[in-house]
């Protein structure tokens, strides 16, 4: 290739992260962290840190064979130096969508505990940040989960009971007083500032996130861009194509929200529904139509549909913003849960549930475990209390096990309102100024337009709308497309769609990306005839990093 053609080659990134939410930020930060400690014990962290810092500058003696690895060897590829760019459909900053939704719903505190955050440096990074900034007053204690230890008598009874291989008694959780400090909800302001400080610490602020919506991903040699037919990803966005060696997909629930249309028979499936909105598409709350009617002193009624925390937050907020009465319909009985998932999936004893999950024989089993652990939507006790207060004041009507079956838009001189029918029928239901659906988002990888090409050219199995990834969260062994967040639930477990999965996903992906670039480097070096000694060194490093076998580094080359 001539020098002039080299100069005009398009830029090839090392990593493109699609989706700049908390999971995307966790991956980017982890790639830039030299001594990750967030999921190691203190002892492992110290050992890792020492070897990372000094392992190359001093001779290291291997215990088994006494072989001394000399210092001064060539540095293998460092993920800290990788060229990373993040593309996000809605914002040109990290966690833009997250911040927008929290602002829109006026949420003051997260639902999750202090050890769910995005920093790779330290498990207690968020807690430490709160204290270092003297903002411990922004932490809200989570009641009813610490100090509920099980009596000796109860433990004995449990032991004598017959427990199935996977049952609640196997996964009994005890959070003792020592861990009380973890069980606080951080304020949204604190969490958001912490994310900003993580981005700044790892130099991920200026220009790393670009507001571009991804429309297609292709993996193939690109004529005029690839050198030696190296397969590259062509990521096509609304701004044009970009090239990269690896891709991380962190697109959250991924699919577009959909409003169940069966109740709106008078409207065709594609017609926009006036005075109806899905919770994830709210721009201002309540809608300007409702605001105007409140301002005119009219009586207003809003219908909220859904059984999760968002529906409770919307009902509460609507009442606080002056709506006369909110009707809240739930398809199922109300579920009161402190967190989205059971404590057994998230406390420091989660290893037990995770072990059942990892050792499951099939992805179908894993899917069932995730479904069982998450259940449908649930409301934390704090919000349930708020709802009960509104009910007692007559501002809220909560109907469980009730479905919306028909809605007709009736226009009078006083404006348009929805007349609805439910099952079972509710008498004396008013017409509604607005209907909000807080019914979540159904994830289905098969219907994502930007994965159509990948699914055609590099097909993989899918289960329950989720891709069946490799253990490294890779699309396929031969395709360095990594997936984290909700789409990786079949590998990350029930906390995958939440912040709980962010660091675990980031850890696996960063190690796999490091391995990918090391392999590339080895191939390059092999072609220059200098691969033999370094191969052994890489095995050693893989072992130290906890990924390789200690026996493979003993093999004579």
Binding positions for ligand FAD, 70-89, rule CB under 6 A? 87-89
Q: Is 18 in the site for ligand FAD (CB under 6 A)?
A: yes
Which lies closer to ligand FAD via its Cβ, residue 251 or residue 304? 251
Q: Is 21 in the site for ligand FAD (CB under 6 A)?
A: yes
Instruction: Compute the distance between CA of residue 145 and CA of residue 147 in angstroms, rounded to an integer.
Output: 7
Closest CA to 345 of 526, 493, 133: 493
- Residues 36, 37, 120, 252: which binds ligand FAD (CB under 6 A)? 252
- Residues 200, 213, 416, 530: which binds ligand FAD (CB under 6 A)? 213
Q: Is 499 in the site for ligand FAD (CB under 6 A)?
A: yes
Token pair 């070096």 in the structure block, residue: 525
Return the ∠ at Cα 184 (arms to 182 and 185), rounded to 5°: 130
Instruction: Compute the distance between CA of residue 73 and CA of residue 58 in angstroms, rounded to an integer.
Output: 10
Q: Is 195 in the site for ligand FAD (CB under 6 A)?
A: no
Instruction: Compute the distance between CA of residue 18 and CA of residue 450 in angstroms, rounded to an integer.
Output: 11
**Least distance CB 88 / ligand FAD (angstroms):** 5
* 156, containing H or E segment: helix 152-160
Q: Is 111 in the site for ligand FAD (CB under 6 A)?
A: yes
Helix, strand or coil, per DSSP, at residue 153:
helix
Closest CA to 215 of 244, 248, 238, 245: 238
Instruction: Compute the distance between CA of residue 310 and CA of residue 285 in angstroms, rounded to an integer.
Output: 13
Q: Is 22 in the site for ligand FAD (CB under 6 A)?
A: yes
- Residues 27, 84, 85, 110: which binds ligand FAD (CB under 6 A)? 110
Q: Is 98 in the site for ligand FAD (CB under 6 A)?
A: yes
Q: How many Cα atoms occupy the beta-carbon half-sphere of 124 within 13 Å? A: 11
> 205 near 199, Cβ under 8 Å?
yes
- Residues 51, 60, 101, 334: which binds ligand FAD (CB under 6 A)? 101
Q: Is 183 in the site for ligand FAD (CB under 6 A)?
A: no
Return the ∠ at Cα 83 (arms to 82 and 89), rounded to 5°: 125
**Least distance CB 291 / ligand FAD (angstroms):** 21
Instruction: Compute the distance between CA of residue 530 and CA of residue 111 in angstroms, rounded to an integer.
Output: 53
Give the count of residues interacting with ligand FAD (CB under 6 A): 31
Binding mask 441-460 for ligand FAD (x = CB under 6 A): ---------x----------
- Residues 85, 214, 466, 483: which binds ligand FAD (CB under 6 A)? 214
Binding positions for ligand FAD, 330-349, rule CB under 6 A? none
> How many CB atoms are closer than 10 A to CB 40?
18
Q: Please give the DSSP secondary-structure letter assigned to residue 111.
A: S
Which lies closer to ligand FAD via its Cβ, residue 109 or residue 542? 109
State the virtual CA torsion across 391, 343, 115, 499 in degrees, nearest 10: -70
Q: Is 306 in the site for ligand FAD (CB under 6 A)?
A: no
Helix, strand or coil, per DSSP, at residue 79:
helix
- Residues 77, 79, 99, 112: which binds ligand FAD (CB under 6 A)? 112
* 516, containing H or E segment: helix 500-527
User: Among the candidate windows 28-36, 52-60, 94-102, 159-167, which touches ligand FAD by CB under 6 A?
Assistant: 94-102
Q: Is 20 in the site for ligand FAD (CB under 6 A)?
A: yes
Token pair 């999921």 in the structure block, residue: 39
Which lies closer to ligand FAD via its Cβ, residue 111 or residue 123? 111
Which lies closer to ligand FAD via its Cβ, residue 107 or residue 405? 107
**Least distance CB 37 / ligand FAD (angstroms):** 21
Give the binding site for ligand FAD (CB under 6 A): 18-24, 87-90, 97-98, 101, 105, 107, 110-112, 116, 213-214, 250-252, 310, 450, 485, 498-500
């Amino acid at each position: 290739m001539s020098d002039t053609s080299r100069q005009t080659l398009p830029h090839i990134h090392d990593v493109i992260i699609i989706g700049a939410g908390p999971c995307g930020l966790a991956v980017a930060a982890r790639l830039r962290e030299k001594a990750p400690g967030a999921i190691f014990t203190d002892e492992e962290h110290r050992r890792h840190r020492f070897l990372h810092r000094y392992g190359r500058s001093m001779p290291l003696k291997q215990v088994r064979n006494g072989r001394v690895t000399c210092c001064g060897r060539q540095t293998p590829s460092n993920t800290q130096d990788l060229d990373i760019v993040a593309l996000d459909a809605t914002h040109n900053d990290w966690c833009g969508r997250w911040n927008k939704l929290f602002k829109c719903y006026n949420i003051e505190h997260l639902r999750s505990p202090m050890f769910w955050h995005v920093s790779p440096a330290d498990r207690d990074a968020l807690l430490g940040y709160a204290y270092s900034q003297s903002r411990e007053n922004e932490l809200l204690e989570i009641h009813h989960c610490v100090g509920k230890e099980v009596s000796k008598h109860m433990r004995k009874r449990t032991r004598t009971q017959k427990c199935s291989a996977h049952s609640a008694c196997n996964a009994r959780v005890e959070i003792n007083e020592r861990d009380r400090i973890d069980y606080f909800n951080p304020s949204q302001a604190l969490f958001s500032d912490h994310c900003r400080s993580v981005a700044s610490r790892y130099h991920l602020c200026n220009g790393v996130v670009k507001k571009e919506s991804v429309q297609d991903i292709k993996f193939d040699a690109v004529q005029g861009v690839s050198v030696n037919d190296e397969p590259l990803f062509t990521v096509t966005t609304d701004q044009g194509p970009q090239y990269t060696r690896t891709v991380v997909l962190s697109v959250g629930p991924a699919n577009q929200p959909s409003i169940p249309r069966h109740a709106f028979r008078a409207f065709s499936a594609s017609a926009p529904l006036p005075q109806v909105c899905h919770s994830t598409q709210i721009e201002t709350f309540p809608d300007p139509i409702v605001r105007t009617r409140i301002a005119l002193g009219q009586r207003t009624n809003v219908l909220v549909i859904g059984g999760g925390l968002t529906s409770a937050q919307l009902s509460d907020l609507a009442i606080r913003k002056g709506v006369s009465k909110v009707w809240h319909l739930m398809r199922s009985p109300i579920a009161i849960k402190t967190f989205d998932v059971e404590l057994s999936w998230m406390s420091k004893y989660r290893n037990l549930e995770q072990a059942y999950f990892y050792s499951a024989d099939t992805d179908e089993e894993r899917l069932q475990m995730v479904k069982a652990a998450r259940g449908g939507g649930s409301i934390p006790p704090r919000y349930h209390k708020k709802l009960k207060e509104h009910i007692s004041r007559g501002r809220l009507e909560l109907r469980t096990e009730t479905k919306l079956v028909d809605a007709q838009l009736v226009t009078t001189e006083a404006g348009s309102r929805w007349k609805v029918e439910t099952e079972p029928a509710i008498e004396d239901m008013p017409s509604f100024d607005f209907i909000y659906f807080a019914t979540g988002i159904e994830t289905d990888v098969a219907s994502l337009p930007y994965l159509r090409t990948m699914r055609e050219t590099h097909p993989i199995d899918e289960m329950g709308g989720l891709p069946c990834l490799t253990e490294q969260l890779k699309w396929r062994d031969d395709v360095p497309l990594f997936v984290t967040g909700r789409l990786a639930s079949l590998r990350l477990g029930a906390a995958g769609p939440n912040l709980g999965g962010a660091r675990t996903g980031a850890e696996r992906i960063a190690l796999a990306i490091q391995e990918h670039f090391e392999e590339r480097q080895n191939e390059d070096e092999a072609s220059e005839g200098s691969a033999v000694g370094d191969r052994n060194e890489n095995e050693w490093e893989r072992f130290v990093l906890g990924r390789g076998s200690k026996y493979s580094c003993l093999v004579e080359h």
